[in-house]
Structure formats: C-alpha cells, structure tokens
Amino acid sequence: MEMMDELQTDTLGTRLRGLFRPVSTAQWIVDGVVGAFFLLGSAVLLPTYYEGFLIATGLMTLTFMTAALMLSRCSPPLALTVAWLGAVAQMATGQQPMAANLAIFVVLFATAAYGSRFVFWAGFVSAFLGALLIALYLFLLAPGLSGVGIVTPDVWTQDSTFAFLFSIALVFGFSVFSLLLAWTLGALFRVVIRNRETRRAQLVAEERATAEEERGRIARDMHDVVAHSLAVVIAQADGARYAAGADPDAAAAALKTISQTARSALSDVRMLLTQMRHSQAEGPQPTIADLEELYAQVRAAGVDLRVTVDPVPPGEPPASVQLAAYRILQEATTNALRHGDGGPVDVHLAWLSDHVALQVRNGRAADPGPLGGARPGVLHAPPATTGHGLIGMRERADLVGGHLEAGPDGEGWVVRATLPV
C-alpha cells in the first residue's frame, strides 16, 4: 500500500514538473522585475476607470493577469490557464477592459514560442475564442459600461441590424488580429529557437564526426606503425637467430636494427596515445622525406627493395598526399615483408603534374609454409583481401580523393594507387 502511495506521489510530481520549462536564474529575475512593474503600473490605473468600478474585483483580475504574465516563460500551459481564469472572472464580475489585460498578449506569445504541440495549438484556438468572447461581452454588457471606446449604448437603439452586426464584426476582427499577431510572433520566435537548436545539434554532430574521423586516423596510424615495426623486428629476429652461430657480426647488426626499430615504434605509439588523450596534440605526420628511412628499414629486414622515382616531385606536394603516399607504401612494403616469397620488391613512384601514381609489386607464397629462397623460419601467406591493412590503404587513398587497387598479378601481388595532387 505504501509503495502504491509513493508511486502515485512520484507520478503526480513528475506531471507537475512536466508543466515547467527549465529557466535560468537571470530569466527568473527578469520575469520577477517585469511582473512587479506590471502589477504596480496596472494598480495605479485602477482608480481611473469608469464611475462605480470596484477596486476589489479589479485587483482580483490584476492578480490573475500578473500571475499569468510571470508564468508565461516558465510554464506556458499554466499561464494560459490562469489567464483564462482571470478573463472569465473579469467577465463574470462585469468589469471593463483594463491595462492588466495586456498580459494576455504575452501569454499567447509564450504558448506559441515555448509551449508543447498541444499548448501551441491551444493558444491558437484561444486567440479566436477570446476574440469572439470579447466582441459578445462588450456588446451584451455595453449599456452598463462606459468609457469602453468602440462600443456605446447607442448601438442598441439603432434600427439597422447591419450596423449592429458590423460593429460586432469590427470588434471581433480587431481583437482576433491583435491576439493572433501576438501568437504569430511567438510562432516565429519558436522557429528561431528551433533553428538555433538544430544548428547546435548539427555542430555537436560535426564535432562527433570529426572526433570519430580523428580516432579512425589514429587507429590507422597505430596499425601502420605497429604492423610495420613488428614485421621488421620479426624478420631481423629470425635472421639473428639463424646467423648467431655462423656470423656473430650479422646477428649483432640485426639486434641493433631491432633495437632501433622498436625504439622508433615505441616513440610513435606514445605520440599517437598522447594525441588520443589530447586532441590538440600533434601525432607523427610522415612526409616523402621520410621514405628513405622507411626503405632502409625494409632493406635491413632482408628484403631486396628496388625503388624507382620517375618523374620526381615537381614541387612540394600537399601534406595530405605525402602522408597518404607514405602510409600506403609503408603498408604495402610491410605486406611484402610478411607475405612475400623472399624475391625482390619493386616500388615505382611517378610524381606527375596532377597526380602521383605508385605501385608496389612483389612475389607471394603459394602456401603458408616456408618456400625456397624465402627467409628461413618465416611463414608466408598471401595477404587477405579483407584485412585491415588493405582497408586502411583504400581509406587513405579515398581521403585525398584517389583510388587504390590491390590483388594478384601473375605470380605476384601488386598494389596500385593514384592520388590527385
């Protein structure tokens, strides 16, 4: 039983909280100051109305309208309800229109600007219904009121029905125009708010997409660095193991290469991890000037690497193209090192005026066992066409507007890429 009472209380509290919009402290202060001035100014005008006007009933209406005004921003549905209660009480007590009724325009603006879909259309209907009630109320009670303005007791003594109906239509038209104008301004402000929210959401989505793209780039860099370095380390370790007894100098050279490659890879990985933690940090951005070092690492691993560059770069290629070319060559030579048959690897670069064409060709093993001529103790297999390496190379080519093809070519494996400059 207690649980049901708590559930009902929680449901009621949730519904009440749903009636209110989040409003900042500054907005609360502004609404409070505006409400206080509105109450004071309207109260000063109460004694100036027609003779016989009851101050007590006027204060009642003023209280309703002031409350509706102050609630209009934080709770449009409550503001509309309170405004209707005040209007009904005003008509029930036979009061003339007063300055406090100006709060109705603010309430209609708020229903269109801040209200839910239901409150939005409730404000629209209220504009028409309120205009109709204003016209009927003024004409039905006109003989007992004075100082109303448009309506005078003479209307009842006229013989022309047309003049009477025209007067009602005139008051209705003026009222509905005024009320709908306030509602329409609120609807336009609602569009402005929605556009701002949409733009803000778009910026957030763009930031997330940029962050995701950056994480993808970092992941590709991590893959390229680790895969290439481990391939060199494994090849050198195998060579050092087999040469340890017969050629100690070769083993020492291989261990030195392993040490240098591992240190370089560790440095690159640390920089990438730093970049992942701090988006403003700069990660390793190799250029074509670093290709010779890359070639040296591959050759040190025992690969017969043959490089031709024809023609040479005519100037300074874009940094993005240099990075893409470096990473594609890094991945392609790593695949040749890991999966090749031990034969020569041919790299050809052509830096043309509008694009750069690169090609890496190597032999490949026919089965996953050791082959004659291959480095001893190393297993070889054709690179998988669905591996992360090939996907990464294609992504890098796509990022700069180029394209890449990789696949078997006769007895070997070839990677071809075209990158626009």
Q: What is the pLDDT of residues 206-243, one digit of tens each?
A: 877 766 776 666 666 666 666 666 677 777 676 666 66
* Top-confidence residue, 68 or 155: 68
Structure tokens at 55: 């101050």
Terminal-to-terminal C-alpha distance of the chain: 76
**Which one of 205, 229, 259 terminates a domain?**
205
Q: Which domain holds residue 153?
A: 24-205
pTM: 0.51
Contact 114, 76 (CB under 8 A): yes
Question: Across the chain, what does the average pLDDT equal?
Answer: 77
More confident residue, 47 or 405: 405
Within a domain: residue 348?
yes
Q: Mean pLDDT check: name the lowest of 93-97, 189-193, 317-321.
A: 317-321
CA 37, 43, 45 angle in degrees (round to 5)?
A: 110
Per-residue pLDDT band at 159 (split at 50, 70, 90): low
- Is a pLDDT exceeding 80 seen at residue 12? no
Q: Give the pLDDT confidence score for residue 160 in this predicted structure.
A: 65
Beta-bridged to residue 351, according to DSSP, are 356
SS (H, E, C) 42-97: HHHHHHHCCCCCCHHHHHHHHHHHHHHHHHCCCCHHHHHHHHHHHHHHHHHCCCCC
Is the separation of the CB atoms in 300 and 255 below 8 Å? Answer: no
125 in a domain, yes or no? Answer: yes
Give yes or no for a contact between 411 and 366, defined as CB atoms under 8 angstroms apart: no
pLDDT at 270 over 70: no
When mean pLDDT is compared across 142-146, 212-216, 392-396, the lowest value belongs to: 142-146
Of the candidates 386, 160, 306, the residue with the CA atom closest to the CA atom of residue 394: 386
Calculate what percentage of the chain has a pLDDT beyond 70.
68
Q: Model confidence over 330-350: pLDDT tens digits?
A: 888 888 877 777 788 999 999
Neighbours of 378 (CB within 10 A): 21
pLDDT at 81: 94
Task: Indicate the residue type of 96.
Answer: Q
- Same-domain check for residues 52 and 188: yes
| Per-residue model confidence as pLDDT tens digits over 185-196 | 999 999 999 999
Q: Burial of 206 by CB count in 10 Å (0-12 exposed, 13-18 middle, 19+ buried)?
A: exposed
Q: Do 40 and 177 sit in the same domain of this protein? A: yes
Q: Which of 205, 236, 253 is the last residue of a domain?
A: 205
Determine, yes or no, domain membership for 75: yes
Which of these three, 187, 205, 223, is where a domain ends?
205
What are the residues facing 309 on neighbouring strands?
349
Q: What is the CATH number of the domain that holds 413?
A: 3.30.565.10
Reference 325, options 361, 358, 283; nearest CA is 358
Does 196 lie in the same domain as 73?
A: yes
Q: Is residue 298 part of a domain?
A: no
Q: Are residues 182 and 66 part of one domain?
A: yes
Do 68 and 192 have their domain in common? Answer: yes
Residues 330 and 200 in one domain: no
Helix (H), strand (E) at residue 389: helix 388-399
d(CA 320, CA 95): 77
Query: For residue 51, is pLDDT > 50?
Result: yes
Residue 243 falls inside a structural domain: no
Strands 403-409 and 355-363: unpaired
3-class DSSP state of 279: coil
Bridge-partner residues for 307, per DSSP?
Answer: 347
Q: Is residue 9 part of a domain?
A: no
Please state the rounded mean pLDDT for residues 39-67.
82
Identify whether residues 30 and 179 lie together within a single domain: yes
Place of tokens 């001893």: 376
CA 414: distance to chain centroid?
A: 41
Q: What pLDDT shows up at residue 258?
A: 72
3-state secondary structure 254-265: HHHHHHHHHHHH
> Does 242 reside within a domain?
no
180: pLDDT confidence band, cut at 50, 70 and 90?
A: very high
Q: Tell whether the model's pLDDT for residue 28 goes beyond 60.
A: yes
Output the CA–CA distances (angstroms, integers) from residue 279 to 88, 217, 264, 321, in the order listed: 61, 12, 22, 22
Residue 317's pLDDT is 80
Amino acid at 126: S
Q: Does residue 353 fall inside a structural domain? A: yes
200 shares a domain with 59: yes
Round to whole Å and give the CA distance between 392 and 416: 14
Least confident of 117-126, 312-321, 359-368: 359-368
How many domains does the chain divide into? 2
